[in-house]
Amino acid sequence: MGLDYAPTFDEERTAVYPPFQMGQSHWRNEAVVAIGDFIREQEDPIVDIQTLFGTPADPELQGPDGVHPSLAGQKAIARTFVGRLTS
């Protein structure tokens, strides 16, 4: 069993996060969701964290940079993973 590719994120927050601006780093939910769609089409079971986070991502589940999960996001991923294992 694997995790979906990556959680969705807050594009507006990532665009103004200073380290990402300095590094000229950019992310788009559209690209991450396309990869997740492909993974969801595979036969192997997954833990769909993109659906868990929503699009755009639930701000409570995102850290200050808008990309990485907050503690609440990490807990939500762990709960979802354990729930998927036990279902």
- Predicted confidence (pLDDT) at residue 65 exceeds the cutoff of 70: yes
Identify the residue with better confidence: 63 or 87. Answer: 63
pLDDT for res 44: 87
What is the model's pLDDT at position 46?
Answer: 86
Provide the phi-psi class of 24: left if phi over 0, else alpha when psi is between -120 and 50, else beta.
left
**What's phi and psi for 47, nearest 5 deg?**
-105, 110
pLDDT at 4 over 60: no
**Both structure tokens of 84:** 């998927």
Give this prediction's pTM. 0.80
Q: Are 68 and 62 in contact (CB under 8 A)?
A: yes
Show me where the domains of the chain are located.
2-86
Q: Would you list the DSSP string of 1-62? A: -EE-S-----HHHHHH-HHHHHTT----HHHHHHHHHHHHTSSS-EE-HHHHHTTTTPGGGB
